[in-house]
Copies of this chain bind each other. A is one copy, B any other.
């Protein structure tokens, strides 16, 4: 029975060898030699140090193309023209599904025809040397961003390849991304990823790990996102990770977003061991974007404003072309600069908004309910608790495609635009908290002259792409 326990050294080595035999490039990984390579990197390429020592929110876009030269050119552009502080390398979908053969075909086709037949950088296929060429070429820290349920080989190769930050986690890269990967399976596989990061950490190379906070990206109530960040943070810490960046995706209500980021930071420091350095990352709106670059810039700017007030350690930016999918590099850089301008204009201002403490208190209480139920379900073990709490529905994520979560909880905005829970299903939450949500949603129903119903949920899902925060009935209120 899988538990929240550190993978023993011999087991780590056994899995490592097994996993590296899955694809030829795995053979090139040499841990001792990799440590030396990391030690040779200059200070400004050490991800954890750069992030943790920053005195204002650092900006990072998303970006990945199949060919190495193109990826270098893309990241150089985003660094120079977008003034990104931290850079990404987004991995292609085949690699996320561990289909390295298909990724190889796509990469070769891209090399032959110049077309991008993959939607990201196949780091496993590029291998250790390919990754290091990228790390050497770019004058800033780079993170691996993906969405891979089983990221063991990807981690082994990219860590040895010089990347010092790795997004994802067993819940956050399972529940929102895939239907059938069992949660127990992904937890076990991510224990390896975290243990590997821990092994580097013990040798002085602090690999930064970043659980994916936005989850399904659609009206996720803050406490659910935070609870999952704490669980993934704890699992990673157990395996020896010492630099953790907990994530949160903007819901669009400034007070709730600032309160959530404050709560995330506070609870992260409280629930994670003292030896872990906890930082936070704020994702600009992950839901549907307006099909209009001008309006999209408004959405992006509201994210920048929120970041200026909450001051997370990092902001993942969106581009004005979000609606149409992968942005051009110019649009990607444009989203970075719009965000930078808003943050730099607003960050020196004292903007203390009433009600943030109260909202933060509510979010903390909700999160504690969820953490308590996890501990109870697992009789003190976080892994078992998480599995059983998801199984019973005591822990749940709205709009989760995975069979591992019930996906029965439904959110809706209240009259102020804050995300509340409309359908609790079996979520473990104190009754007095449920009453608060109910009262807030009832207030909205009164304003709109309609009953609380799933219709609000549906309207809210589309609201921001339709130009508003709250999905009011047609014809206005």
Residues of A within 8 A of B (CB): 252-255, 290, 292-302, 304-305, 333-342, 344-346, 348-355, 415-417, 464, 467-470
Tell me which residues across on chain B come within 8 A of A252, comparing CB atoms.
345
Extra contacts besides A298-B301, A344-B467 (4): CB < 8 Å: A294-B337, A298-B337, A301-B301, A346-B469
Instruction: Give bound CA distance, A351 to B263, whole Å.
Output: 19
How often does this chain occur in the complex, in copies?
2
Do A254 and B337 contact each other (CB < 8 Å), given the known contacts A301-B297, A301-B298, A345-B468? no
Instruction: Flag if A295 contacts B340 (CB, 8 Å).
Output: yes
Instruction: Flag if B294 contacts A334 (CB, 8 Å).
Output: yes
Q: Name the contact of A349 in the complex, choosing from B346, B350, B352, B417 (C-beta under 8 A).
A: B417
Tell me which residues across on chain B come within 8 A of A300, comparing CB atoms.
301
Closest to A476 in B: B55
Do A349 and B295 contact each other (CB < 8 Å), given the known contacts A301-B301, A344-B467? no
Instruction: Flag if B338 contacts A301 (CB, 8 Å).
Output: yes
Instruction: Flag if B299 contacts A297 (CB, 8 Å).
Output: no
Instruction: Flag if B345 contacts A469 (CB, 8 Å).
Output: yes
- Of residues A293, A301, A417, A470, which shows the largest number of chain B Cβ atoms within 10 Å of its Cβ? A301
Tell me which residues across on chain B come within 8 A of A464, comparing CB atoms.
345
Instruction: Flag if B348 contacts A355 (CB, 8 Å).
Output: no
Instruction: Give bound CA distance, A372 to B168, whole Å.
Output: 64
Instruction: Give bound CA distance, A304 to B301, whole Å.
Output: 10
Instruction: Give bound CA distance, A355 to B351, whole Å.
Output: 9
Instruction: Flag if A416 contacts B350 (CB, 8 Å).
Output: yes
Tell me which residues across on chain B come within 8 A of A338, comparing CB atoms.
294-295, 297-298, 301
Is chain A's binding surface mostly helix, strand, loop or mixed?
Answer: helix
Instruction: Give bound CA distance, A346 to B334, whole Å.
Output: 22
Do A253 and B349 contact each other (CB < 8 Å), given the known contacts A293-B334, A301-B302, A335-B294? yes
By Cβ-Cβ distance, the 5 closest A-B pairs, closest first, are: A298-B341, A301-B301, A294-B334, A294-B337, A295-B341
Instruction: Give bound CA distance, A354 to B337, whole Å.
Output: 29
Instruction: Flag if A349 contacts B254 (CB, 8 Å).
Output: yes
Q: Nearest-CB distance from A465 to chain B (Å)? A: 10
Closest to A285 in B: B345
Tell me which residues across on chain B come within 8 A of A304, comparing CB atoms.
298, 301
Tell me which residues across on chain B come within 8 A of A468, comparing CB atoms.
344-345, 348
Instruction: Give bound CA distance, A345 to B304, whole Å.
Output: 14
Instruction: Flag if A354 contacts B355 (CB, 8 Å).
Output: no
- Of residues A292, A294, A350, A416, which shows the largest number of chain B Cβ atoms within 10 Å of its Cβ? A294
Closest to A343 in B: B298
Closest to A466 in B: B344
Instruction: Give bound CA distance, A337 to B298, whole Å.
Output: 8
Instruction: Flag if B470 contacts A342 (CB, 8 Å).
Output: no
22 A-B residue contacts at CB 8 Å? Answer: A254-B349, A255-B349, A255-B351, A294-B297, A294-B336, A294-B341, A295-B340, A296-B341, A297-B297, A298-B337, A298-B338, A298-B340, A299-B341, A301-B302, A301-B304, A301-B342, A302-B346, A345-B417, A346-B469, A348-B468, A349-B469, A352-B355
Closest to A347 in B: B469
Instruction: Flag if A340 contacts B255 (CB, 8 Å).
Output: no
Tell me which residues across on chain B come within 8 A of A417, comparing CB atoms.
345, 348-349
Q: Nearest-CB distance from A474 to chain B (Å)? A: 15
Instruction: Give bound CA distance, A464 to B345, whole Å.
Output: 7
Instruction: Give bound CA distance, A348 to B464, whole Å.
Output: 13
Q: Nearest-CB distance from A345 to chain B (Å)? A: 4
Instruction: Give bound CA distance, A469 to B468, whole Å.
Output: 28
Instruction: Give bound CA distance, A333 to B334, whole Å.
Output: 18
Tell me which residues across on chain B come within 8 A of A301, comparing CB atoms.
297-298, 300-302, 304-305, 338, 342
